[in-house]
Structures are given as C-alpha cells and as structure tokens.
Structure 1
C-alpha cells in the first residue's frame, strides 16, 4: 500500500520536472565525471548520488560509478545501474583477522603479490573507463576527467584510499589528458552515542593519514597496475597534495544540530559542489550576464580562487565543508494531499444518500408484503391441491349421525388423523422442503450488486444504510419487522377464524343439502369441509411461511449490512491511510514549506471537483470510465485468498497511470513521460522503500489500522489513476513555487482575519529559511576560526523574482563570495554554502575521537599501514 503511494507521489514529482518551465533546464557537466566509492559504508552514498545526479544533470547517463566493497556486501540498485561497476573483494579469503590489526591487515592483504584481486580490480576499472569513453559525445570536452572519491571516516577499508584513488586515476588517465580528484569524507557524528571507541579510533586514524596526504611534500609509489600477463607497473604520485579538494561532511551542522535526514544533505552537497566545479556554460546564457546589483564576475565559481582561500600563511591547505538547502514546491506532498482530498471528496459525495422512506426501501428491494406473499404462495401448493383431499378414505357414517356434531368432531369421526396427516405430508412438508432448498439471500444480494453497479455514486452506501438493523435507523430491517408484525396479527386472526369454524355445527354450515339423500349430503359436507377448513389451514400455512421468510430476510439483511459495512470500512480505512500519509509528508516538507498544505489543497480539490460536476453533471466522477462500481472494486474476490490480489505489474501500472496522462483544467489530455525513471532509482526493487526525505514509508504510523486488503489496493490504484488524469494537470496545480507558496500562505486569511502576506514578506522568510538550513554540515571546535573562507551559491532561474531578491540581499552586506547557477526551472531555488580553511585539529569529531584513539593505541591496536612516526603530529 505504502509503496503504491510512494510511487504515485514520485511519479507526479517526476512528471512536474518534465513540464515546460518547471525543470526542463537541468544543468549539464562540461567534462566527464566518475564517482569512486571505497568501502561498504559508502553504499548508501552511491545509491543516493546515482539518483541525485540523474535528477540534476541532463547528461548524467554518461557518469561512471565504481565501488570497492567487501565480498559479502548484498546486491542493491547499484549492481543494476548500467554505468556502475562494483568490485567485491574478499580480503582475508574466509578467515577472520583480529580486530586490533584489522585495518593494517586489510592494507597488507590488498598489496599481497600472491593474490589475484589487483588484476581483477584493474580489469574492473578498465571496464568502467570504457564506459566513460563510450559516453564522450555527451560532454563538451573530453580532455579532463573529474574524479570524486567518497569514503566514510570510520570504514576500515578507507586505509586503501591512496592506493585505490591513484590506481583509478592512472587507469582513467589513459583516456584523458588529466584527472582532477576530489575527496569527500563522510562523518557520522550521530552514531557516536551508540558506536564509539573502535569506530572513532578508525576515523581518527584516517584523518591523521589524510592530513599527511594533503601535505605539499606527500609522495607515493606502489606496484598497483597489473597487465593481462600479470606484470605489475608502479603507480606514482609526485610530491604534492593527493586531492585537489577535500570536503568533510557530517550529519550534524556547525551548531551541533543533528540532521533528520542523516547524511542526505551531504550527498546533496557532493552533487552540487561537483556541478560548480564541472559545469557546462552556455555561451550567451543568463549566467554569463551578471545580474543587476552584483559585481562583475561575482556570479561564477572559480576553483583556483576557492583553493587559495583555504590555504594559510604557511601554505598548508585547509579542508572544506558545505551546507545545502532548497525551497521547492513539495510535489510529493502535494500529490498525496490532492489524492487524499480527492478520495475524501468522493466519499463525502457517496455518503450524501437521498432520504428514502423505509416502505419504499422495502418495495425497491422486493421485501414488501405483496412480494413476500407471492414468495410464500410459490413455496406452498396452490388451492387446487385441496381437491386431492377429497380422495381421502372416510368412515361409513351417515349424515344424520354427524349433523349435530362440531366440524372438529365430524373430522375425527370421518377421517380420524388421515386428513391432518395428508396436509402435513403434502402441504407442510413441501413448504419445509422449499424453505430448506431456497437461498433466501440470493435475490437480495443480486439486487444489492445490481443497485451498486447501476448507481456508482450512492449504491454501496445506500445498500449499507438500507440494510442497517439498528433501531435508530430508518431502514428496511425495521420496516420488515413491522410487516412481519402485520402478518402475525393476520395469522392470529386467521387461527381464531379457524377455531370458530371448527366449533360450528355441521348442519349449520352453508353447503348444499339434499332431502333424503344421506350419502350425497356427506359428500357435499366433505367437499365443503376441505375447501373451508383446510383452505384456512393453507392460508395459515402461507402466513406462517411469510413470517418465516420475514425472519430469514431479516437475517439476510443483517448479513448484507455486515458485508457492505465491511466494504465501507475498507473505503474509510483507505481514506485514513491517505490522510496519515499526506499529513506525514506535509510535516516532512518542513514547518514552513509544508504550512497550510492540507487546507489549501482541500479547497483547490473541492473547487476543481465542483467545476467538473457543474460542467459535466453531478455524477461525473462516478461514471463507468471513472470510479465505476465501487463495490466491485473493494469487495473480496476469490483470487484475493491466494495472494495480494494485485499482480506484480500493478505497481508499474500505477506508476504509468500517474505519469502517462494528465487532463488539464479545460479537459484536454496531454501526454507526459517519466523522466528516465530517475524517481525510482533510489532503492532497488523489493527493498520496499525510497530514499527521498519525507517518504511515506519512512515515518507513517498505521497503528490501529488492519493490514490493507486487496480491495483497498485496487481502489487506491483506481483513485490514483483518476486523480492523475482529472486533477493533477489542472491549472491551480501548475504554478511556480513562488505563486504556490504565496497562495498557500494566505489560505487562512478569510477565517483568521489577518493581513495578507505580500510577496516581499514571503521572499524575506524564504531567504532566511534558505540561509538557516544551509548551515555547514560539520561541527568545528571554533566555527569562526581565523582562516574561515566562505562562498555561497544559488541554483535556479536567474530571471525569477525570488532569485533576484536573494542575490541582491546577499550583495548588500556580504563579506563572502556570492554566485549563482542559472537553471531554466520554476519549481524552486537551491542554496549551497561552501566553507573552508579549517584543519583536522579543528574537527570536534577528531577532538572527541582522539581520546579513544590514544587509548586503543596504548592497548596495542595497530590502525595504520605505515609507520605511525611518519605521520605528522596534530
């Protein structure tokens, strides 16, 4: 259920990105790019960056991804990415090394001349290099490769960072004139409360080595290249810093506040920092023309200038970090809010059942007295069968002997128990047999199914309401009981009439009498007796049958009510699930971007629905080609017992339904396409989650709700398809982020009677939010350190009102470099803050972990592959 909701929301977001004016102007990379991930811990970053790059760059399909990981790493989406190569390595060939030498032994195993993994690693890197070569047409220049290395500080395999980075650079460098390498180090500060000691010591070990790698005198040489004949060739690095830039990115910002998305912000920084450095510039484009209020050249990123800003007087190059934030239309949250309000609107319409008198309900369900009498008459033999009773053998008695008897005495004298026995065997038994064989509720169920199908708007709720057995309901069961009481009163009267008839005297009865013809009078009496007495008994039998039918139909109505009430509960459960998903997603959009989202889109959806009904009829949404027979959708089906009830293709069907066709406000259909399925690359098939923040699966609480039924999933799929086709392409839902946020900000004006927010008020708030949330993703001991160098960049439409406002605000009092990247989009603005100039000793992560590192070293742990004395003291 939640996967369907995630796919629906992601499909809408992907569709919005393809609309003209929203994000068709994705940035492009100038030079080819490769991302190198070292260690198992970097797997999450690898998956996230394939998704982020695909959404950010128009030539992302040419980017190569390579990961070196442990042989036991489970398969995921990276293994299926067509531009990715994952090299799995069993460092110790099944044996388990001691933890106190694990890092050092990992390095030794990597350089083991007797092992074959270096040969296989060379082959894998050459395969990745071939992928890059085949994508040359996608890039403006093929002279340089931008290589981004991503490691976790506390991953043991980061001990191989120099070897793997230089080997990759050497292999890739055979296809390019130069390879420029940056390093991104991911630090998990939040985990220190649960995992400290050893992991902190590993992190400190790597940072000490990193400080050495970035020294101007650092050099390296090792036999890392291996030919097809197993010949080794040295890979060397002349004295200089190993990496062009080193970014340290944490899951806590410089104020010590933990990020709810973990390292997700760090992945965004990697994606956008790479774009700054490797951006394709279009001649004559907006970014070539400095905007009003900015100094000439202030809008461009200059890598040399940024690096020089990181160096101190001694020439020691500092490290860098960054902060990232965005203001965008919360498309996924909007999609879920619209879907919920659409489902709620349909449910409200279905609940507005027209008032129908209970007597009319009975009549329409064929449960009124005429229909019940007809059923009773069909079950009992007709009056003609009473003629057969005249053939019953009687005693040879004279008329004179019985003429002063009561009819009861006369029957006993003439037939004994034979007449009564005949009636029981030929009349009562036939009724009992018919009642036993009859499926009493079948006709009722058929009527209900037909009514629900023919009246898609009210059918389901109407049948549930009409069959409600509660005393307070003005429904068929209460009226049925009233009819049963009427039949019971009639039965009592008929029985009293029979008693009176039985008590009458034979000669007083109005049958034809003949003088001096005794036997003829007996025969005439017998014929009269059966016609009158057993005629009344047949009438009593039919009334008793009618009363029994009332009882059974009462039970059938109760069962029908339970069936249809159960279906309504499923509809209500689905509505509640949609509400929870929408509310959670709106909250995840953040406290400002998600404000008023539910009430605003409640009004928008209701307006759109009423407009469509005014133009095309009140039952527009309930026509067969739209919602159709709700009961048939939500009802249990035989196949549901053997599985989910939703074939594996249905998730894809929902995705295509949500993205394939959109109907605009004027009713015209326009086709769209899902942008290369980027929205679904964030998790491999079967994992059951997407990685984007605020995803439904990441926080929706369904406590108290039963598991979703197959019927609910069928209904959700139909609702999602309808919502995509009928609502999501309408004009009120196709707005720039500025218009959308401003309208939402003012949605409560009418009933709160407050002043309307102006566009300038909104821009001021958005500008402040962007800056607050772009805090540097790293905790430093003193984040105002002496050599702090800052640069700030905006990504968005340079001609947009908010971009101009933000850039001018930055320009008025800035003490740092400000720039922008022009992208033809109107779905939002992103901000990347860069900060650098600090060193390893400035990191709180290093300062806190050094205590554990020293303790472990003292206890005999060996973390480094090189002599610890050769490392610079920090």
Structure 2
C-alpha cells in the first residue's frame, strides 16, 4: 500500500510540476559539475543529491557522481545510476584493522606504491571524466569544472580526502581549463549520544587536518596518477588553500535544535549552494525576457540580486588572512502536492463510502419479496421438497385386512387404521414422503439463490448493493432487516402446523360412520374401499400438509443461517472497504503533519470541502450515480471480493502496519487512485499557486470560527517569518559574535511573484547582509538559503566537545593522523 500511495502522490506532484506556470522553469548549471563522495557514510548523501539535483537542474543529466567507499558497503541505487561510478576498495585485504591506528593505516595503504588500487582508481575516475566530456552540449561553457567533495567528519576514510580530491581534480582537469573544488563536511551531532568517544575523536582529527589544508601555505605533491603501463605521475598543489570554500553542515541548527530530517537539510544546502555558484545566466538583448530575469526587482539595490563568489570568500577572511569556514540553512514553502494528493484520495474514498452507506429505507416485507424469502416463495420451495398429492393415490394399494365395514363403522379413524393397515400406512408415508422430503432437503443448495441474488444486486446497484445486502442480511444492522421478518414468517408457519396437528387429532378421533365418504347399502366391501380412499385423501393429505409446513419451517431455519453466512461475507467486504478508508486517513494525516505545522495546516478540512464540492457538482451535472457507473467504480463487491487467482496469501505492498493488505483492497485502491486522478486532481480548485492555495486553506474555518479573514499580507508575513526561522544555520557554534559573522540570504522562486516581492522588500528595509534571488519560472513555492561564514574550527561546539575525547584517545596511544601531528597547526 505504501508503495502504491507513494507512486500516486509522486505522479500528482510530477504532473503539477509539469503544468505551465508551476515548475517548468528549472534552473540550469553554467559549467559542468561533479560530486565526489568519500567514505561509506557518504552513501546517503550520494543517493539524496542525485535525486535533489535531478529535480533542481534542467541539465542534471550532465552531472557526474563518484563515490570512494570500502568493499563492505552494500549495493544501492547509486551502483545502478547512469551517471555514477562507485569505487570500492579493501584497504587491508580482508584483514581486520586495529581501531587505534585505523585512520593512519588506511592512509598508508592508500599511498602504498606496491598496491594496484591506485591504477583501478585512476581508471574509474577517467570513466567518470569521459561521462563529463560527453555532456558538453548541456552546458553554456566547458572551460571550468565545479567539483563538490562531500564527506562525513567522523568517517575514518576522510583521511584520504586531500589525496582523492587532488587526484580527481588532476584527472578531470585534463578536460577543463580549471577545476574549482568545494568541500562539504557533514557533522552528525545527534549521534554523539550513542557513539561519542571514538567517532568524536575521528571528527576532531579530520577538522584539525582540514584547518591545515586550508592554510595559505599548504602545498602537496605525491605520485597518485597511474598510467595504463603502471607508470606514476606526481599530483601537485601549489601553496594555497586546498578548497575554494568549505561548508560544515550539521543535523542540529545554531540554536542546538535537532533537525527533523537529520542531514536532509544539509543535502538541500549543498544542492542550492552549488546552484548559486554555478548558475547559468541567459544574457539576452536589453528588454528581452532573458535580460529582464537577470535584473534586480524594484526595491533592491543595483547588483544585490546575484551571488558573487569572490565577495563571499572575502567576507569569510579575518584580518590575519586566515580563511574562515561557511555553513548554511535552508527552508522552503511549497504547495504540499503529495500531501494534497493523499488528502484528496482519502476524502474521495470517504465520500464514496458515505454515499454507499446511505441505503434507502426498505420495508421488511419488500426485502423478503426481493430476496424471494416471502411466504409464497417459501411455500413453493416446501412443496417442491415433499412429493405431490398424486403420490397419495399409491397408498390405496397398501394391503389391508379383510375386516368388514360393519366391524369398523363404530371405530375411530385411528382404530380403523390400526385394524385395516396396522403400521403399514404410517411406514409407507415415512418412507415415501418424509424420507423423500428429507433427502431433497439435504441435496438442496439452500444459499445458492441468495448468493446469486446478492451478486446480481451488487452488480446492478453499485452504489448501494454491497451495503444493502449486508444490512438486509442481519437483524443487528436494523430491526427492520430480513432475518427478523423471516422469523415472523416462521412463527406463522409454526402456528399453522400446530393448527393442522390439532385438526389431525380431531380427525383421528372421529367415528368412521360419521365421515362424509360415499356409503352404499348392502355393499360392505364397496363401503370399505370408499372409506379407505377417503381416509388416505383426507388424513394423509393433512399429514402431507403438515410435512410441507415442517419443511417450510426447516427452510426458514436454514435460510436464517444462509442469511447469516451472506452477512458475514458481505460484512467482511465492507470491513475491507472501511479498513482501506482508515488506512488512507492515517496516510493522509501523517503526510499533512510531515508537511510541517503551518504548511500543512487545515489541509484535511479544506480538501474535505473541496472534494465534497467537486463530487456534488459532478453528480448534479451527470446524475447521482455518476461515480458508480461501470466505467468508474463499478461493481464494488466484485472488486473487493476474494478471487481464485488471488491465492491464499495477502497482496501486501509495504512494510509496517499496512502490510498484509488483501488483494481485493489493493484492487480497490488502484481503482480509487485511477478514478481520483481522472475525475478530481485536474479540477480548478486543485490547480492553484502556493500563495492562493495557502490563503484559501488558512481561511477554511472562518465561517465556523468567529474571526477575521486572514489577508494576503498576513499570510505573507507568516510565511516570511517561517522561512527565516526554518532557514537557521545548520551548525552550532560556541560564541560567535555578530561583528565576525558574514551573512548572505537568497530566495529561489518566481521573481515576479507577489510573495517573492514581499519577502525581498522586507529583507531590503533593514538588512545588514547581502540579499539575492534566483528567478525560476514556478508557482509551486519559494525556497530560502541562508549562508553564514567566517568562523573557524575552534568556534564549533562539535570541536570543543570532541576535543576532550580526542586528547584522551591520543594520550592512550591512538594514532589518528597520517602526517606528523607536530606539523598540524595548534588550534
């Protein structure tokens, strides 16, 4: 189920992005780009960034991804990605490594000239470089490559970051005039509660080395390039900082609050920071659309709308010339399309279910008649079970005694039967009437007619059939249900049977000579024959009537059981429908909550109204059973019922609480998703800009709550504040005063949109930082990226907390660095 709902929601979101005016104007990269991931822990970042970049850049098909990992890393989607190369390396040849020297030994194994991995790494990098070369037509310029290196601070393999970065730059640089390299360091503050000692020491080790490689005097030379003939070539780096910019991104913001998505916000920052630095600018003629997009909006100072990398770098350097580090914060306000799709699907399913439950009131007598359980039908069935009256003629052939009429005329009918036949007549009736009726009753498929009627009724009345059969077949559903009326009929039959038995007793007690049979004078034997014919016709005719009443009563009992079985079956189908509705509700509410407390506000009640209005409008125009026609929902019972091809197992489609979903529920969910997409999701109330949609949702409860309507300016003020709050810097510093803090803030969205203009003008009024924007032709939302920099390693809370452990581990003999620690600058 989870997979099917995800596909449904993603399809709606993708379709919305493809609509004119929503998000068809994705940004593009000016220069080719490559992402280099170092260490196993960077696998998540690699997968996330391939997805984010693919959705953000219109030329993302030209980006190369390269991941250096250990041989122990399991395969994932990156191994199958068309633009990705993953190089797995076993540093120790399967031998276990000592933890206290792991980082140092990993580095020694990497630079070992006798090993063959450098040759393989060179080949893999050249394969990635060839991918970049083949994508030249996607970029405005092929002069420069933007290389982004991503690693985790506490991944032991990050000790190789300088060597791998420089080797990659050297290999890629053979296709470009220059390679500009940025480093993104991911810091997992939240994990320190579980693995605080060793991992914190590894993180501090890397930060000390990072401070070293970012010094202006840092230089490097090592034989890292390997030709096809195994010849080595030095990779050199002249004295200068190794990376153009270094970003540190944590899963806690500067206020120490953990991010709900962990490092997901950090991946968004990497994607958008790269875009700022490497954005394609389509310079057109003055007055052209392309030229207008590049001009600052009214209210902003000239040139304030664009990112300038040189200006940003200069803002990070202090008076001594030591270059500071950077971090960022990211937030977005968008139409929560996936949440909207799930809410619409739930309310659509709920609306259909509510209509199906509105069963018209039907008198019990009419229920029995339509189910063919009224007395005429039941009597007819009982008559078919017992032999007909013609078989009574056969009783006249039963051997009788030679008693004269005169000898029996003063006897009762019971005495006369004993005198004439003994027990022969009774035995004949039991064997030829009662036993035959019981045999026919045993062979009858009592519930077949009910099942056939139910299937036909459900197919012909798709709106009410399923619920109608369930309601009619159980008295607990309604006091007016068929079983109650059926029992009333059974009581009538039982009263008739008792009356017939009493009549039989009276008849048996009457005298022979008083019976109205034909009597002939002086013809004794003829009178006996006339009496016998009368006796069988009336006495056993009455017994046949009693037998039929007993058969009718037994049929009532069996049909009561058949109705109960029918109810169990149809109630189980209804339970599946209602369980699916409940699962859809949980999925929709969870998605609305995950959209955050403001963007997801009023989502469920608002779309309940929207869906209800759309459904009523369609029914007014096309008929009340519009959604239940065969080409729409159709026969719900046939859809939800078990089928032979379903097998014994459930058709579960996801893990967790929704696993074990029946095949019928899965079919119904597919039909609902298709119908919802076709009938509702393209309607006007569901095609709105994020500004319109949020404003309407914000005011959904106005008529129920006596409060003023929220104005567009009120909404913009709230959104602006939310964006700023949620774009808090993703890094916690110890004591970083405002005078050292360099900040820049950028919006991504429709530069001519009302909210973008409002936000930019708000920033302009009292800003002490650079403000800019990236114009994207989209109406589905706006994003904000806050950049901050100028701090150093010693300002990090992560470093200050980890330094205690680092010093303790070093004192205990742990060797973390590949170079002499005395060469590292003292922090």
- The residue aligned with 1:314 is 320
Aligned mate of 1:530, from 526, 531, 536: 536
**CA deviation profile, 1:483-535 (whole Å, cap 9, x unmatched):** 00000001101111111111111111111111111111111111111111111
How much has 1:706 moved relative to structure 2?
A: 8.5
- 2:339 is equivalent to residue 333 of structure 1: yes
- 2:628 is equivalent to residue 622 of structure 1: yes
Aligned mate of 2:420, from 405, 414, 429: 414
Aligned mate of 2:706, from 740, 748, 753: 753
Contact residue 309 and residue 789 of structure 1 kept, 8 A: yes
Which whole-Å CA distance do the structure 2 matches of 1:95 and 1:48 have between them? 32
- The residue aligned with 2:175 is 175
Contact residue 189 and residue 250 of structure 1 kept, 8 A: yes
Which whole-Å CA distance do the structure 1 matches of 2:648 and 2:45 have between them? 39
**CA deviation profile, 1:289-322 (whole Å, cap 9, x unmatched):** 1111101100010111111111111111100000
Bigger Cα displacement from structure 2, 785-794 vs 323-332? 785-794
- The residue aligned with 1:765 is 718
- The residue aligned with 1:848 is 801
Aligned mate of 2:778, from 817, 825, 832: 825
- 2:661 is equivalent to residue 708 of structure 1: yes
Which whole-Å CA distance do the structure 2 matches of 1:851 and 1:542 have between them? 97
- 2:135 is equivalent to residue 135 of structure 1: yes
Which whole-Å CA distance do the structure 2 matches of 1:119 and 1:428 have between them? 97
- The residue aligned with 1:323 is 329
How much has 1:785 moved relative to structure 2?
A: 5.1
How much has 1:445 moved relative to structure 2?
A: 1.0
- The residue aligned with 1:554 is 560
State how 1:373-772 maps to structure 2 within 5 Å: 373-470=379-476, 473-645=479-651, 702=657, 707-772=660-725
- The residue aligned with 1:354 is 360
- The residue aligned with 2:41 is 41
Which blocks of at least 5 consecutive residues in structure 1 are unaligned? 652-687, 689-696
Which whole-Å CA distance do the structure 1 matches of 2:478 and 2:180 have between them? 79
How much has 1:225 moved relative to structure 2?
A: 1.1
**CA deviation profile, 1:10-47 (whole Å, cap 9, x unmatched):** 11111111111000000001111111111110111111
Query: How many residue pairs end up in the alignment?
Result: 821
How much has 1:404 moved relative to structure 2?
A: 1.1
- The residue aligned with 2:287 is none
- The residue aligned with 2:184 is 184
Contact residue 413 and residue 511 of structure 2 kept, 8 A: yes
Specify the SS of the correspondent of 1:510: coil
Which whole-Å CA distance do the structure 1 matches of 2:98 and 2:359 have between them? 74
Bigger Cα displacement from structure 2, 468-477 vs 537-546? 468-477
- The residue aligned with 2:10 is 10
Runs of at least 4 residues of structure 1 off by over 4 A?
none
Specify the SS of the correspondent of 2:740: coil
Bigger Cα displacement from structure 2, 121-130 vs 732-741? 121-130
Q: TM-score, normalised by structure 2?
A: 0.98
How much has 1:645 moved relative to structure 2?
A: 4.0
- The residue aligned with 2:826 is 873
- The residue aligned with 1:680 is none
- 2:230 is equivalent to residue 230 of structure 1: yes
Contact residue 325 and residue 832 of structure 1 kept, 8 A: yes
- The residue aligned with 1:662 is none
- 2:77 is equivalent to residue 77 of structure 1: yes
Bigger Cα displacement from structure 2, 788-797 vs 436-445? 436-445
CA 1:733 to 1:844, structure 2 compared with 1: closer, same or farther past 3 Å? Answer: same
**CA deviation profile, 1:313-350 (whole Å, cap 9, x unmatched):** 11111000000001110111111111111011101101
- The residue aligned with 2:240 is 240
Bigger Cα displacement from structure 2, 269-278 vs 74-83? 74-83
**CA deviation profile, 1:349-395 (whole Å, cap 9, x unmatched):** 01110000011101000011111111111111111111111111111
Bigger Cα displacement from structure 2, 562-571 vs 320-329? 562-571
Contact residue 469 and residue 558 of structure 1 kept, 8 A: no
**CA deviation profile, 1:78-129 (whole Å, cap 9, x unmatched):** 1111111111111111110111111111111112222221111111111111
How much has 1:418 moved relative to structure 2?
A: 1.1
Which whole-Å CA distance do the structure 2 matches of 1:868 and 1:515 have between them? 144
**CA deviation profile, 1:194-250 (whole Å, cap 9, x unmatched):** 110000000000000000110111111111111111111111111111111000000
Contact residue 471 and residue 478 of structure 1 kept, 8 A: no
Which whole-Å CA distance do the structure 2 matches of 1:333 and 1:218 have between them? 50
Which whole-Å CA distance do the structure 2 matches of 1:74 and 1:396 have between them? 103
Q: How much is the aligned-residue C-alpha RMSD, in angstroms?
A: 1.3
How much has 1:131 moved relative to structure 2?
A: 1.0
Specify the SS of the correspondent of 1:752: coil
Contact residue 251 and residue 730 of structure 2 kept, 8 A: yes
Specify the SS of the correspondent of 1:749: coil
**CA deviation profile, 1:396-440 (whole Å, cap 9, x unmatched):** 211111111111111111111111111111111111111111111
CA 1:471 to 1:456, structure 2 compared with 1: closer, same or farther past 3 Å? Answer: closer
Q: TM-score, normalised by structure 1?
A: 0.93
How much has 1:642 moved relative to structure 2?
A: 4.0
CA 1:636 to 1:403, structure 2 compared with 1: closer, same or farther past 3 Å? Answer: same
- 2:350 is equivalent to residue 344 of structure 1: yes
- The residue aligned with 1:291 is 297
Which whole-Å CA distance do the structure 1 matches of 2:628 and 2:191 have between them? 52
Contact residue 471 and residue 478 of structure 2 kept, 8 A: no
Contact residue 796 and residue 829 of structure 1 kept, 8 A: yes
Specify the SS of the correspondent of 2:707: coil
Bigger Cα displacement from structure 2, 393-402 vs 536-545? 393-402
Contact residue 471 and residue 477 of structure 2 kept, 8 A: no
Which whole-Å CA distance do the structure 2 matches of 1:386 and 1:68 have between them? 98
Specify the SS of the correspondent of 1:627: coil
How much has 1:471 moved relative to structure 2?
A: 8.3
Contact residue 785 and residue 838 of structure 1 kept, 8 A: no
**CA deviation profile, 1:615-653 (whole Å, cap 9, x unmatched):** 00000000011111111111122333344448xxxx8xx
Contact residue 573 and residue 641 of structure 2 kept, 8 A: yes
Contact residue 650 and residue 661 of structure 2 kept, 8 A: no
How much has 1:713 moved relative to structure 2?
A: 1.5
- The residue aligned with 2:145 is 145
